[in-house]
Amino acid sequence: MGTILGACNGSGSTTSEGSSSGGPGGTTEVVPTSGVTEAATTAEPTSAGSSTSSGSATSEPATTTGGMAVTRRVFITAATFHGDLKTQGAGSDGVDGADRLCAAAAAGAGLDGSWVAWVSSSSVDALSRLAADGRWVLLDGSTEVFPARGAIQFGPEHAIDMAETGATLPGGETIWTNTDSFGKNSTDGQNNACDDWSGQTGLAAVGVLFDPDFGGAGLSWTDTKQPQACGGVHHLYCFEG
């Protein structure tokens, strides 16, 4: 894959009060989320990325606890796909096809749980598809990526660079999203999200794992501001639901 450098602003990271990481064995933990607000602010979002990590995947699923943040997992697919996610995933539409591709990747690696792809279309925003009570970690069970859903707008605390297999992918890998830093459908560059992920014509926004100019994943983890042709191939981000 060719490296794409994203256009992102700001630095820094956010944490939520009382957040904790899952143990090395992948045991699910719950933490309070009183320190995180979910609504997007009018201030310019900031973010921080960090270097790659290593570790083995865990098949431990998330659990739910009322009023507490539930530790869930997130990975990047080892495989890449062209923009017609509907056909490749045999879905009812493009977003459903993307979800099925994530589910198939997880199942192939022995991961339990339900999974949704971090993609947006003209009728659905990626953020709205994530669990409101979630915090997300890599498959090692301990590397925190987002302390809460409301913190996603500030960018990841660590690049989502671990695939379902447990392997760490290189920083220049790119990911289909058509999703801006607030988790909304991207319209920059007159994107059509590959005909809502059902064709190989048009453009869609992509993210990049690691932006060398920024020194981390930055906000370009989800949108490099450089839409790519739908005939090209890119990875998917898969969030545990």
One-letter identity of residue 131: A
- Kindly provide the b/e burial profile for residues 209-223, where b requires at least 16 CB atoms within 10 angstroms of the residue's own CB: bbbeebebbbbbbbb
Helix then strand count (H, E) for the chain reads: 3, 10
Residue 96 lies in a domain: yes
- Give 82-136 pLDDT, tens digit per residue: 999 999 999 999 999 999 999 999 999 999 999 999 999 999 999 999 999 999 9
What is the value of pTM for the model shown? 0.74
For residues 80-97, b (16+ Cβ closer than 10 Å) or e, as one string? ebbbbbbbbbebebbbbb
* 107: CB partners within 8 A, 6+ apart: none
Asked whether residue 200 is domain-assigned, the answer is yes
Closest CA to 143 of 177, 168, 174: 168
Q: What pairing do the DSSP bridges indicate for beta strands 69-76 and 134-137?
A: parallel
How far apart CA 59 and CA 57 sit, in angstroms, is 7
| Most distant CA pair in the chain, distance | 46
Contact in structure between 132 and 38 (CB atoms under 8 Å):
yes
Is 59 domain-assigned? no
DSSP string, 106-158: HHHTT--S-EEE----SS--SGGGS-TTEEEE-TTSS-EEESSGGGGGG--SS
Give residue-wise pLDDT tens across range 1-27: 444 433 333 333 333 333 333 333 343
Q: Classify residue 175: in a domain, yes or no.
A: yes
Within-domain flag for 168? yes
pLDDT of residue 173: 96
Q: In 3-state terms, what secondary structure has residue 208?
A: strand
- Number of domains, the chain: 1
Q: Domain with 81 in it: what CATH number? A: 3.10.100.10
DSSP-derived 3-state class of residue 211? strand
What is the domain extent for residue 118? Answer: 70-240
Asked whether residue 100 is domain-assigned, the answer is yes
Cα(116)–Cα(130) distance, integer angstroms: 8
The predicted model gives 72-84 an average pLDDT of 98
Model confidence over 175-227: pLDDT tens digits?
999 999 999 999 999 999 999 999 999 999 999 998 666 566 688 999 999 99
Confidence band for 66, pLDDT divided at 50, 70 and 90: low
Domain presence at residue 230: yes
- For residue 1, tell me if it sits in a domain: no
